[in-house]
């Protein structure tokens, strides 16, 4: 079976089919395992550092593959694909920053981008018309699962505390990214952050939004509500912990 076909439209990815559910299940198992191992990782910082850097290196390698694949097989669509104006491309900035110098504010941005962007992409993957086991589908699911997993990793291992102001700071950065994506879309005809149209080939909540000028303010309002929902889940999952960092 050809795993590296160029830009061919299959349009037969089965959302929530067996392979998709398997990927979601494996991610949930990894999250539970990470939570259970968090104390052990904090107790041995040498091993923890190696695990952290290994996961980050794997993420960067997987994302590098995405760029290489586009240069080789989709060179006519580079402007529409490789500019880091998607949340899950721009997330590499706080990821690398946090790897070099962890701090509260970068953690906040990564946490919300990783949980929302990574989680949404796992539930509603945009596979560009490909199906399992094409390498683009595997890369898409794998790298977004890692984005989500690393948000949990930084949360349970580094134990930063968040407040409602954390939500607002992450929201402002997300709105700025959306503004950049909007401008880039106007110049390139791209669909970064899916501001133009919902992703094709998958059913997502974006399908419910009106395709008119009211969509953008409505998206911003819903985004804020979703961020506070994620924050509420974070509070529920961490209410018994004492977080030493502020």
pTM: 0.87
**In terms of Cα–Cα distance, which of 194, 195, 192, 188 is closest to 213?**
195
246 residues of the chain, pLDDT tens digit each: 344 444 444 456 677 788 889 889 999 999 999 999 888 988 898 998 898 899 889 888 988 888 888 888 777 777 777 888 888 889 999 999 998 888 899 999 999 999 999 999 888 887 776 677 777 778 888 889 999 999 999 998 988 888 899 999 999 999 999 999 999 999 988 888 888 888 877 788 888 888 777 788 899 999 999 999 999 999 888 766 655 444
Tell me the backbone φ, ψ of residue 181, rounded to 5 degrees.
-60, -40
Query: Residue 193 has which token pair?
Result: 């952050």
Phi-psi region of 103 (alpha: psi -120 to 50; beta: other; left: phi over 0): beta
Measured between alpha carbons, how far is 110 from 48 in angstroms, rounded to an integer? 19
Q: How far is CA 55 from CA 52, 89, 90, 222, in A?
A: 5, 16, 18, 31
Cα–Cα separations (whole angstroms), residue 1 to 4, 20, 74, 110, 131? 9, 19, 20, 37, 12
Residue 104, token pair as written in the block: 């509260």
* Contact of 178 with 221, CB cutoff 8 Å: no
Tell me the two tokens of residue 236.
């529920």
Q: Give DSSP secondary structure letters for 150-174.
A: HHHHIIIII-B---HHHHHHHHHHH
pLDDT at 150: 92
What are the residue ranges spanned by the domains of the chain?
A: 18-238
Gap between the Cα atoms of 109 and 104, Å rounded: 9
Helix ranges (H only) for the chain are 18-43, 45-73, 78-81, 87-90, 92-100, 104-112, 119-123, 135-153, 164-188, 215-238
First-to-final CA distance of the chain: 52
Tell me the three state secondary structure of residue 245. Answer: strand
* Pair 145, 23: CB distance under 8 Å: yes
């Amino acid at each position: 079976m050809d795993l590296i076909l160029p830009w061919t439209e299959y349009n037969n990815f089965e959302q929530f089919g067996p392979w998709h559910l398997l990927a979601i299940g494996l991610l949930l198992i990894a999250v539970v395992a990470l939570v259970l191992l968090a104390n052990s990782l904090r107790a041995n910082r040498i091993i923890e550092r190696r695990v952290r850097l290994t996961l980050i290196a794997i993420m960067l390698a997987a994302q590098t593959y995405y760029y290489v694949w586009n240069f080789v097989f989709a060179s006519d669509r580079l402007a529409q694909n490789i500019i880091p104006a998607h949340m899950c491309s721009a997330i590499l900035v706080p990821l690398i920053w946090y790897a070099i110098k962890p701090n509260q504010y970068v953690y906040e941005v990564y946490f919300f981008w990783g949980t929302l962007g990574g989680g949404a992409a796992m539930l509603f993957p945009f596979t560009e018309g490909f199906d399992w086991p094409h390498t683009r589908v595997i890369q898409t699911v794998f790298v977004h699962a890692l984005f989500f997993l690393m948000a949990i990793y930084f949360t349970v291992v580094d134990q930063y505390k968040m407040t409602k102001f954390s939500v607002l700071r992450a929201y402002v950065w997300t709105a700025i990214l959306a503004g950049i994506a909007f401008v880039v879309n106007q110049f390139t005809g791209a669909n970064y952050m899916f501001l133009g149209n919902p992703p094709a080939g998958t059913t997502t909540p974006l399908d419910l939004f009106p395709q008119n000028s009211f969509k953008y303010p409505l998206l911003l309002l819903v985004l804020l509500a979703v961020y506070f929902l994620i924050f509420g889940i974070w509070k529920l999952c961490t209410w018994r912990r004492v977080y030493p960092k502020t």
